[in-house]
Amino acid sequence: MIQQNMKSENTLCVCPECKNTVDLSRYPNLAPGMVIECNHCGMTLLVKEIVNDQVKTEIVDEGK
């Protein structure tokens, strides 16, 4: 029995800013287009795509 989710337990997201692994447990339905926040540096990241359990993100410029 294989459970089909948007992301697997092994999905990994490395923050492009601080290079730490972002805690994705807060985002159970992670999908491209979603905005997440790095739990290490607080950077806002836009999910571009999820490839082979690797989440590709882009830093969101909040335009201060």
Residue type, 60: V
DSSP states of 4-57 = --SS-TT-B-B-TTT-PBP-GGG-TT--TT-EEE-TTT--EEEEEEEETTEEEE
Question: Under the criterion CB under 5 A, does residue 15 sit at the interface with Zn ion?
Answer: yes
Question: Under the criterion CB under 5 A, does residue 40 sit at the interface with Zn ion?
Answer: yes
Work out how close the CB of 14 gets to Zn ion at its nearest, in angstroms, rounded to a whole number. 9
Determine the interface stretch with Zn ion among 1-9, 24-32, 34-42, 52-60 (rule: CB under 5 A). 34-42
Nearer to Zn ion, 5 or 54 (CB): 54
